[in-house]
Structure 1
Amino acid sequence: MADQPNNAVNYPALAVPHIQLHGVVDDRMYDSFKQQLTGAPVEGPIVVSITTLGGDPEMARAMGDSIRLLRDYTGRETLFLGKVAVYSAGATFMASFPAGSRFLTRGTRLMVHERLMQSNIQLNGPLNTLSYTLKAKLNEIEDSIRIQDEGFADLVAGTRVMLDELKRKATSNWYIEAEDARDLGLVLDVI
């Protein structure tokens, strides 16, 4: 396939991201993110690249919130560059960038899935108290689903993907090739 012209020429900062993240989305990545953000230029667009097979969705949301606050309070443009693999929590982080500010490198794959939970419920005590344990776990599950759906809505905002379609495909790990992501409007372009 011949190379197609792309939007990269309009975004020269993509060549050298200010913040480069790789590996598991966890506390260490969040610390690296904060340190690199502090050292980033104070003017012009901020480019954040990530390569990840996933990790902690709450750390992804925390990094994304920092990006949103930067955009909201300074008006600066923030650009997302996914490289090689943007799985799970990486897609959660990507959702904090507007669809028109997202890019993937050639051959990159996205993977979106439902949040996962592994938990044991220990029922031990007077019968009248056991229902509270079950209700607490149910509340945790329901709130996690709400958080997941908010992130899914952010991911598809301004794209050709309907929220119901994403939720349906996410139940069995939806892998999306870079070019398909572009065609669906999940990213502006593939570079």
Structure 2
Amino acid sequence: MTGTDSNASRYPLLAAPQVQLAGPVNEQMYLNFKQQLGYANGGGPLVVSITTLGGDPELARAMADDIRLIREYNGRETLFLGKVAVYSAGATFMSGFPADKRWLTRGSRLMLHERQMSSTLQLNGPLNTLRYSLEAKLAEIEDSIRIQDEGFRALVAGSQVTFDQLKQKASSAWYIEAEEARDLGLVLDVI
């Protein structure tokens, strides 16, 4: 029996995901995701595949939350299949699935990094009011870090990677080959 035959017999559901996503994580992907979920409302496990170079982390979190709600409220098993590239917001989406319900295809890569921000803060007005502008921007940054850390914790839950290891590696882009992701327990297996 070859490795492919073995995977086909062990994971037959992964051959035909009901929800297939590709491209940037944006509003269009989210609408496509919701539409495909509507068509896949039958029984049995729900298999979702994604290929993405990244995108909007908040939309990725929203899609992950939809998956969580399906699992918790409908009791439906949800399976994740990453194909080719699961970068940035794609990994955020992947964190919505338990580690033992995640797979990657051979040759796929994960890319994890800290959230990014590009912002210009213009200080204009009476000096006594400028403090509020600075405090508001600082609060935005601190909240974004809390959200990022929640996602990092969900991503490493059930794996051999600690939260602190991920934080250290994610300060610059951390590329992880499929087999390494499996060995680290970030995914169950490579198909």
TM range (shorter): over 0.9
SS of equivalent residue, structure 1 residue 79: strand
Whichever residue aligns with residue 105 of structure 1, its letter is T
Q: Any idea what SS the aligned residue of 1:21 has?
A: strand
SS across alignment from 1:81: strand
Identify the residue that residue 120 of structure 1 maps to in structure 2: 120
- 1:40 alignment partner in structure 2: 40
Residue aligning to 1:94: 94
CA RMSD in angstroms, aligned pairs only? 1.3
Residue deviations 1:38-90, cap 9 Å, x none? 00042000000000000000000000000000000011100000000000000
Q: Aligned equivalents of 1:82 and 1:181: distance in 2?
A: 11
Aligned to 1:169: 169
- Structure 2: distance between partners of 1:6 and 1:30: 34
Q: Secondary structure at the match of 1:20?
A: strand
Contact 1:7 1:189 in 2 (8 A): no
Identity of aligned residues (%): 71
Structure 1 segments (4+ residues) deviating >6 Å: none
Q: Deviations over 1:115-138 (max 9, x none)?
A: 000000000000000000000000
Q: Give the whole-Å Cα distance in 2 for the aligned partners of 1:8 and 1:14.
A: 8
Q: Normalised by the size of structure 1, how large is the TM-score?
A: 0.96
Q: What secondary structure is seen at the aligned counterpart in 2 of 1:172?
A: coil
Amino acid at match of 2:160: R
1:99-156 C-alpha deviation (Å, 9 max, x unpaired): 0000000000000000000000000000000000000000000000000000000000
Give SS of 1:48's match: strand
Structure 2: gaps of 5 or more residues: none
Task: Confirm whether residue 153 of structure 1 aligns to residue 137 of structure 2.
Answer: no
How many residues align? The count is 190
